[in-house]
Amino acid sequence: MRPFRPAILLLLPCLLPSPAPGASDGPPPPLPPEPPRTAAITPAEWLWSDAWLSDDARGGREAGTPECREAARWIAARFKAMGLEEAAGAPGHLQPFELPGSTPVEAECSLAVLREGTDPVPFAAGKEFSVLAGSASAEVEAEAVFAGYGIKAPDLSYDDFAGLDCGGKVVLVLRHEPREKDPESRWNGDRMTRHSWFATKVQAARAAGAAAVVVVNDLLNHPEDRIDASSVVGPGDLGVPVVMASKAFTAELLRGTGLTPEGLQEAVDAKDAPASRPLPGVRVRLRTKVARAPTENVVGVLRGSDPVLREEWVVVGAHYDHVGRGQGGGLNPRLWGQIHNGADDNASGTASLLEVAESFALGGKRPRRSLLFLAFSGEEKGLLGAAHFVAHPLVPLDRVAGMVNLDMVGRYRPGQFDVVGADSGSTLRETVKAAAEGLGLEYRFTNSGMANSDGFCFYEAKVPTLFLFTGLHDDYHRPGDDWWLVDAAGAAKVATMAANIARALADADGRPAWAALPRNEFAMNRRGRLQLGVVLEEGGTEGAVVTGVSPRSPAEGAGLKPGDRILSLGGRGVKSAEDLRAALNYSRPGDTVALRVVRGSETLDLSVLFPGAAGPVFGVVYGAEDDGKRGALVEDVAAGSVAAAAGVRTGDRILAFGGQEVSGGQALGRALRAAKPGTTVTVKVLRDGKEYDLEAKYPEK
């Protein structure tokens, strides 16, 4: 949790301003007192729910953790207390499902070094090695090779796997990156790049044919002999057995070679060049056993009053999970380990869901249609809860008149409030306009971003869907997303608007007709990365299995169908959903990319066109670290993008764009949106203490 500025304690919680990222010393404020529960949607009631969900005690609510399950039971208890009914198939208001990825079963995991003619040297699970979450369950006995830092970085002319036979072998890799503490290194100076991420290393090793991966500490920079892998891997299935082992394991592996663990690292760092090598005469025996973690959607029912229309439904939903301590999706790996409380993402949507439900449950007048209130888990891991509900609906989806999804509605700013997807239903625009009357909210209609949140799964099921979203900010997926920075007054108005929309849909004589959104709205996600427009089956290592295809998406245009198994995209092998997401990073709007799939017994070669975005794309992922420095930090640069051609690098801080001063991520976003095709824009960046003026040349449309 980011420390709190003490002077702000003098202000009412619902009026607290948002200090700049990185502000500053002092303890967090106490949680607000619990107010009486009423049918009115009030800032005080909303804020109390948001604060409870985003308190440090919830641990960041990563799906599958005890803290997230505690949050689910708290929401279920709230539903019960306000008198909502249970849905058939969701006893106790809970619809259980299992997450992809895995949780290690330590008692059934083992690791040993083998040499011919001698007894195996075993290492103790939990003491000398640990199995990473996301590891596959398998038994492997194979030769070992050392693959440096496990990095394949064509953009930096560096490849630890070049010339190294990893096929069917156990691959040993170091954590982090070469010359980690050298501010002049090509590896973004002393800041980490995405090549340091553990999932990136495993993906590269798998692509080289590794049967298993063992990660060890880079002891010259991190002398602690840690085996705790909880902060070095993100969500998803890694596809092969992966463990983190102690110095003792590495020393045993190297025994008799004249090498040391520190020496392996020094060989790479001294020349900033790969020093990979086979490790002859030694084998590794590895057994990993993992289990899938359970989680739950939370479901509440309010039956309608009309004897006929009560068999139809209006759904109001929000996800309640977040990214835990950062490993589940935090944007800054250097801050992993800190609690990411997710007050806006998405305690805000969940608090709004509770307020909307309470306004109906306690308000006396029942709507004509029935209402279904859904709090989803697993959104941060790929819309998993919503996808599970749509695959296993508790009400007939063809009787759902509409869905209202609330995600990140806690930082209302005039002109930044998006109502997404109104064109997915024939009457939704007029419904929204009427629902917002008298609330003083400034909003804008857009269809861009539907695929970024749970409502997308309902849209794919041909349910007219709205997604309410008050915009990104510098604390998005970072530890600074705390409850005292939200705008409770603005959020209460957004929740009131959502309740008005739900009431209008529930009481109308007819239902809006579903309509497909424009195809290019599915090309990019909220972080500026391409999307294919598919729902994938998580897990598995023999390709990414498609379970759903969005209408008018790049996937539909390519001819993809549910049941297809994607083997490669753009020539890059795909063994899992994680691999496909990584392969998308190498394409950009306007590209036509080769796609190989298996359909039944046939292997098909398709082409997918990623349409150009509505405006020119610069090609950076940006944010603001908690360091109080100027400008917006560039966290990633898309290969082949306008930014890359201009010379923008990961780790740069953009100080000005097109003559506009950039004070942070929000200011940069506004400047980027103002860029025009066919223009040349001056970009001022700060790099290694020096300022540079770069020229970004946008292509014509």
State yes or no: cis peptide before 500, omega within 30 of 0.
no
Q: Hey, is 666 helix, strand or coil?
A: helix
pLDDT tens per residue across span 153-196: 887 889 999 999 999 999 999 999 999 888 888 887 766 777 88
pLDDT tens per residue across span 269-279: 999 999 999 99
DSSP secondary structure letter of residue 24: -
DSSP E strand boundaries for 391-430: 400-406, 417-420
For residue 364, the model assigns a pLDDT of 84
Highest mean pLDDT among 381-395, 518-532, 653-667: 381-395
Q: Which two tokens stand for residue 447?
A: 């269809």
pLDDT tens per residue across span 459-515: 989 999 999 999 888 888 999 999 999 999 999 999 999 999 999 999 999 999 999
Is the confidence at residue 527, as pLDDT, over 60? no
Question: CB of 564 within 8 A of CB of 603?
Answer: no
Higher model confidence: residue 517 or residue 363? 363
Residue 48's pLDDT band (cuts 50, 70, 90): very high
Average per-residue pLDDT in the chain?
86
pLDDT tens per residue across span 116-161: 999 999 999 989 999 987 788 999 999 999 999 999 988 788 999 9
pLDDT tens per residue across span 356-369: 999 999 998 999 99
User: Residue 9 CB: number of other CB atoms within 10 A?
Assistant: 15
For residue 110, list its beta bridge partners. Answer: 287
Residue 329's pLDDT band (cuts 50, 70, 90): confident
Higher model confidence: residue 519 or residue 38? 38
Give the helix ranges, DSSP H, for 299-338: none
Q: For residue 296, report the phi and psi dihedrals to the nearest 5 degrees.
A: -145, 140
Among residues 490, 491, 259, 560, the alpha carbon closest in space to that of 352 is found at 491
Give the helix ranges, DSSP H, for 233-339: 247-254, 261-269
Helices (H) and strands (E) in the chain — how many of each? Answer: 14, 32
Is the confidence at residue 537, as pLDDT, over 80? no
Among 121-125, 230-234, 242-246, 385-389, name the one with the lowest average pLDDT. 230-234
Higher model confidence: residue 545 or residue 215? 215
For residue 299, list its beta bridge partners. Answer: 374
Percent of the chain with pLDDT over 70: 87
Among residues 467, 359, 464, 342, the alpha carbon closest in space to that of 410 is found at 342
Higher model confidence: residue 221 or residue 150? 150
Give the helix ranges, DSSP H, for 255-382: 261-269, 349-361
Average pLDDT in the 621-633 region?
Answer: 63
pLDDT tens per residue across span 416-426: 899 999 999 99
Among 72-81, 404-413, 648-657, name the one with the lowest average pLDDT. 648-657
Find all residues with CB under 8 Å of 339, minimum gap 6, and list them.
1, 56, 59, 60, 324, 325, 479
